[in-house]
Amino acid sequence: MNRRNFLSLTGTFTGGVLLLPEFLHAFGAQNSLVVGEQCLVFIQLNGGNDGLNTFIPYENPLYYDLRTKIAIGKEAVIGKNKGMAFHPALKDFAQMQQNGDLTILQNVGYPEPNRSHFRSQEIWQTATDATKYISEGWLGRYLDLQCKEPQPTAGINLDSIDNLALKGMEPNTITVKNPNQFKVRSDKDDTIKLSDNPQLDFVRKVANSVTEGSDEIQKAIAKSTTENSYPKTGLSKNLEWIARLIKGNLNSKVYYTSLGGFDTHDNQLAIQEKKLTELNDALYSFYQDLKKAQLLQNVTVVVFSEFGRRVKDNGNGTDHGTAAPMFIIGGNNKGTVLGKNPNLSDLDNGDLKYEIDFRSVYATLLQHKMNFDSTKIGINNNTVSGLF
Amino acid sequence: MNKSNLWSLRLGFSSKQAAQIESLGIEKFLKQSFASKYEKHLPQFLEDDPKTLAELKEFRNKIKETTSAEGKKVLKQQLRNSSELKSWWIDKMRNDAFPLREKMVCFWHNHFVATSQKVKVNYWVYQHNMILRENAFGNFKELTKKIIKSNAMVKYLDNVDNKKGSYNENLSRELLELFTLGIGNYTESDIKNGARALAGLNLGEDAAVYRRFIEDNSDKTYFGKTGNWKADDLVDIIFEQKNIPYLITKKILKWLVYDNPSDAMVIYYGDYFRKMNFEIQPLLTKIVTEEYVKNNSGSKIKDPLLYILQLIDELQIKDVESKMIAFFLKQQGMELFNQVNVKGWDGGNSWLTSQIYLQRNNTADMLCNGKILNRKEFNNIPEEGEQPKISFEKVNISLQFDTNGNNKKIIADLSNRLLFQIEDDTQKDMENLLKYDFDAKEAHANNAVLRLFNYITKTPEYQLI
């Protein structure tokens, strides 16, 4: 190895600042990203959200027969439309549908459904057949091909853990644990103690400054403000920051965040109501924020869960199931309902049979919003017609 | 964190020795480490390098004409060998059954700094490194004597320019300031007189020697003692001074256990070191056995060397060349044989900046993805003006975990091996990555455990031992 060449190749100490070799891709100056202003925002509902109690077949007597303890009453549901209606906690979903900004895709799933949270999330995140395995996520693969040079902020994951969906060969995404880190630090912050162990305290402060290092993010935040008040929940905070980044023209292609707590084996009515309320309130604030900024046509929000739940209740809850509705908001979607109402009499081991493969939805999003051919990343399903 | 894992990391470069520490007990493990053998003959790549003063002279004449093809070739070979030397050493760190010797060689390497950039002669740098290896567990006083009489050191600290009537104080000053007593424990007059005593100590065939016509044979007064002192006499006098044990004891504690050892602790072990006549073995034994029983994990930031070797060991990567590790170390501010200045790496908090942390995370991501830099391109020297290419290649990685365990068992195993402390949020994140219905027997379970491992490597807690 010729040391001098490596020196010029990778940079070295310059004025005490360690310049990073390109292959380790720190946040650098980044060129503006790829196509257009369109972006995708994913909200992953962890635990398996019960679809039948989310978008409810309230006119189907079987629904009430099979769910004696946990069915939502006809009089409680809202936004009635062709035999289907929303859980009462989703009052603003009904509003968004009224406005023509929400499409519901019914019975979304995949062949040979897996009922393990773990594995089913993997399948949704990698977009493979249920029997195939790859270690990169579908959005990670997309960004690998889309970004000619690695773009650390091409995908932004607001979560405490990395998301497999965004994992690619190149570091095109970052995970941000605490969006408050985005705030420009003041000297005051240095006095905050993050641990009684002085070494750990130091490392945590360094760790926090890692994401602050992104000039692009800082710039986007400087350019935007929060205009309406979001509720004070975790999901809401994350969406509020995503909105700021979009409004600040960060030009990321993909934003990802999640909401947990949908694994309602017991006490479903109370738990799901709480969770759906959180989802509804956060998402509606986000929706209004983008609408006011006249950006909703550029932002497509996708809400999904790794599976739905068993049609028949197990008492006060439900067990793991299969197909469920998926929600698309904004991005000039047609504002409609796609797919038949759930068929509760033709079940597979007590679970709904899927009608729309989730990969068809992915293919549609990539095709229509990102102008990208999904077969390049191994998604060969047909697109869904009538969504955009 | 398991004690045996913690101390395997502290006394080596990975968790590889944990089982041994467990089965032998820490004291026996130390004894065997002290008794460990090491390779003594010259590595092959240095066989043709110039060694004697005559050979060096001839060599220098050759490279004077760096424009000539011959001169260029020779120079290239020198650079290659200097990089070979790094790999040769890193190989030892990776492969020794008892890596404590190399851990201490590295400690002394950072104490008696003599960079290859300034020394330039690979063979001298090698010799210097071998002195450290032979004396890694020997006697501090004897080691000091040997080092200041090494060709590498007299070159590095300019004693080659220290002549009677035209003194150079560099070596004399660092001998006191950095190698032994530390600032505040000597006078400027001691430095001047020390320089006179060292005058004429110059390059020799095997080690530095006094040259008759430039040495100063008049009397010097050093720490109040007067005589015609030479290098060994200076060291003898220095080691009679009251504060001699503390600087080095503090550095050893910092190297192995604490970024910030207390003064009381430094004095406690330092006094013992003096009592043992500066024998390194009893000092290490006392420190390690007494600190082993304490709950003191999380008191030190991992240096880049430990960081990368642990990662490679955990992922059981066989194909990564030590050359690439050397490259990583350089990027992280820990270039072997090339500290920024004579003080050596500061260690502690200075190991981490947000950029370096980010680079660690990116490297962990890269390796956990089973990628390394393309070896062919890495070894290829681009022609002048040609853009060097960089791409990745796949390597096999695998991670040890209990395939009979459930998610919690695997999380517990991994975190006890890797994290000094697990807070509730971390536990929650880990259970989110490896959910309760995770099946470790399933054919692709390792991918998920790798993601868990990757998560762990990026936590602040993982940066500490």
Contact criterion met (CB below 8 Å) for A213 and A27 = yes
Residue A171, SS3?
A: coil
- Structural domains in chain A plus CATH codes: 30-177+251-377 (3.40.720)
C-beta atoms of B448 and A22 within 8 A: no
Q: Which of B296, B362, B376, B406 to mutate to test the interface with A (most CBs of A within 10 A)?
A: B362
Of all residues in chain A, the percent with pLDDT exceeding 90 is 69
**Banded pLDDT at A19 (limits 50, 70, 90):** very low
Sorted by sequence, the CB contacts under 8 Å of residue B5 that are 6+ apart come out as B15, B18, B416, B417, B418
Contact criterion met (CB below 8 Å) for A257 and A235 = yes
User: Which residue would you say has higher pLDDT here, B148 or A189?
Assistant: B148
C-beta atoms of A26 and B355 within 8 A: yes
- Across all residues in chain A, what is the average pLDDT? 86
d(CA A200, CA B297) in angstroms, rounded, equals: 11
d(CA A377, CA A367) in angstroms, rounded, equals: 12
Burial of B48 (0-12, 13-18, 19+ CB in 10 A): exposed
User: Nearest 5°: phi and psi at B202?
Assistant: -135, 175
Tell me the sheet residues that pair with B220.
Answer: B227
Please name the residue of chain B whose CA is at the shortest distance from the CA of residue A208.
Answer: B354
Chain B residues touching residue A119 (CB < 8 angstroms): 439, 442
C-beta atoms of B352 and A202 within 8 A: yes
Domain coordinates in residue numbering, chain B: 39-95+99-238, 244-292, 304-394, 407-463
H helices of B239-333, in order, are: 244-256, 263-275, 280-292, 304-314, 322-331
Q: Could you tell me which of B76, B11, B13 has the C-alpha nearest to residue B325?
A: B13
Cβ within 8 Å of B, A 192-251: 197-200, 202-204, 206-207, 209-210, 212-213
Tell me, what DSSP letter sits at residue B161?
G
A185 interfacial to chain B (CB closer than 8 Å): no
d(CA B122, CA A154) in angstroms, rounded, equals: 46
| Nearest CB neighbour to A203, from listed B379, B392, B463 | B463
d(CA A66, CA A53) in angstroms, rounded, equals: 12
CA distances from B414 to B13, B15, B19, B453 (A): 17, 12, 15, 8
| Nearest CB neighbour to B357, from listed A116, A199, A206 | A206
State the pairing for strand pair A13-14/A17-18.
antiparallel
Please name the residue of chain A whose CA is at the shortest distance from the CA of residue B367.
Answer: A169
Chain B residues touching residue A200 (CB < 8 angstroms): 298, 421, 460-461, 464
Alpha-carbon gap: A262 to the closest alpha carbon of chain B (Å): 13
Chain B residues touching residue A202 (CB < 8 angstroms): 301, 349, 352
pLDDT at res. A9: 30
Contact criterion met (CB below 8 Å) for A90 and A78 = yes
Which pTM was predicted? 0.81
pLDDT at res. A184: 55
CB atoms near residue B181 (< 10 Å):
23
**Banded pLDDT at A182 (limits 50, 70, 90):** low
Question: Dihedral of the CA atoms A225, A230, A233, A234 (nearest 10)?
Answer: -30
| Nearest CB neighbour to B447, from listed A25, A133, A200 | A133
Q: Which of B341, B437, B439 to mutate to test the interface with A (most CBs of A within 10 A)?
A: B437
C-beta atoms of A169 and B371 within 8 A: yes
Sorted by sequence, the CB contacts under 8 Å of residue A167 that are 6+ apart come out as A135, A136, A137, A140, A173, B369
Please name the residue of chain A whose CA is at the shortest distance from the CA of residue B420.
Answer: A200
Alpha-carbon gap: B170 to the closest alpha carbon of chain A (Å): 24
Q: Say which range, A91-95, A156-160, A304-308, has the weakest mean pLDDT.
A: A156-160
CA distances from B139 to B125, B127, B268 (A): 21, 18, 19
Tell me the sheet residues that pair with B157.
Answer: none
A171 interfacial to chain B (CB closer than 8 Å): yes
C-beta atoms of A200 and B461 within 8 A: yes
pLDDT at res. A190: 58
And the tokens for B234? 């200076």
pLDDT of A294-329, one tens digit each?
A: 999 999 999 999 999 999 999 999 999 999 999 999
CA distances from B299 to A199, A329, B7, B260, B461 (A): 6, 49, 13, 8, 11
C-beta atoms of B444 and A21 within 8 A: no
Contact criterion met (CB below 8 Å) for B125 and B152 = yes
A132 interfacial to chain B (CB closer than 8 Å): no
C-beta atoms of A26 and B425 within 8 A: no
Sorted by sequence, the CB contacts under 8 Å of residue B149 that are 6+ apart come out as B201, B207, B208, B231
Question: Dihedral of the CA atoms B238, B244, B249, B255 (nearest 10)?
Answer: -50
A122 interfacial to chain B (CB closer than 8 Å): yes
Q: Which of B122, B358, B384 to mutate to test the interface with A (most CBs of A within 10 A)?
A: B358
Q: Say which range, A206-215, A365-374, B284-293, has the weakest mean pLDDT.
A: A206-215
And the tokens for A365? 């999003």
Per-residue confidence in pLDDT tens, chain B, 465 aa: 999 999 999 999 999 999 999 999 999 999 999 999 999 999 999 999 999 999 999 888 887 776 777 778 888 888 889 999 999 999 999 999 999 999 999 999 999 999 999 999 999 999 999 999 999 999 999 999 999 999 999 999 999 999 999 999 999 999 999 999 999 999 999 999 999 999 999 999 999 999 999 999 999 999 999 999 999 999 999 999 999 999 999 999 999 999 999 999 999 999 999 999 999 999 999 999 999 999 999 999 999 999 999 999 999 999 888 999 999 999 899 999 999 889 999 999 989 987 788 889 989 999 999 988 877 777 765 555 566 666 788 899 999 999 999 999 999 999 999 999 999 999 999 999 999 989 999 888 999 999 999 999 999 999 999
Q: Checking phi first, is residue A45 left (phi over 0); if not, alpha (psi -120 to 50) or beta?
A: beta
d(CA A295, CA A304) in angstroms, rounded, equals: 22
pLDDT at res. B193: 97
d(CA B391, CA B373) in angstroms, rounded, equals: 6
Burial of B74 (0-12, 13-18, 19+ CB in 10 A): middle
Q: Which of A7, A8, A24 to mutate to test the interface with B (most CBs of B within 10 A)?
A: A24
Please name the residue of chain B whose CA is at the shortest distance from the CA of residue A132.
Answer: B444
| Nearest CB neighbour to B362, from listed A5, A24, A161 | A24
**Banded pLDDT at A10 (limits 50, 70, 90):** very low
Single-letter amino acid code for the residue at B114? A
d(CA A380, CA A357) in angstroms, rounded, equals: 11
CA distances from A227 to A224, A241, A286, A289, B141 (A): 9, 12, 10, 7, 70
C-beta atoms of B369 and A133 within 8 A: no
pLDDT at position A347 over 50: yes
C-beta atoms of A118 and B434 within 8 A: yes
C-beta atoms of B455 and A161 within 8 A: yes
| Nearest CB neighbour to B301, from listed A3, A167, A199 | A199
pLDDT of A105-156, one tens digit each?
A: 999 999 999 999 989 999 999 999 999 998 899 999 999 998 887 787 899 9
Chain B residues touching residue A22 (CB < 8 angstroms): 390
d(CA B178, CA B171) in angstroms, rounded, equals: 10
Q: Could you tell me which of B418, B432, B425, B412 has the C-alpha nearest to residue B463?
A: B418
Please name the residue of chain A whose CA is at the shortest distance from the CA of residue B362.
Answer: A24
Alpha-carbon gap: A101 to the closest alpha carbon of chain B (Å): 32
Alpha-carbon gap: A204 to the closest alpha carbon of chain B (Å): 6
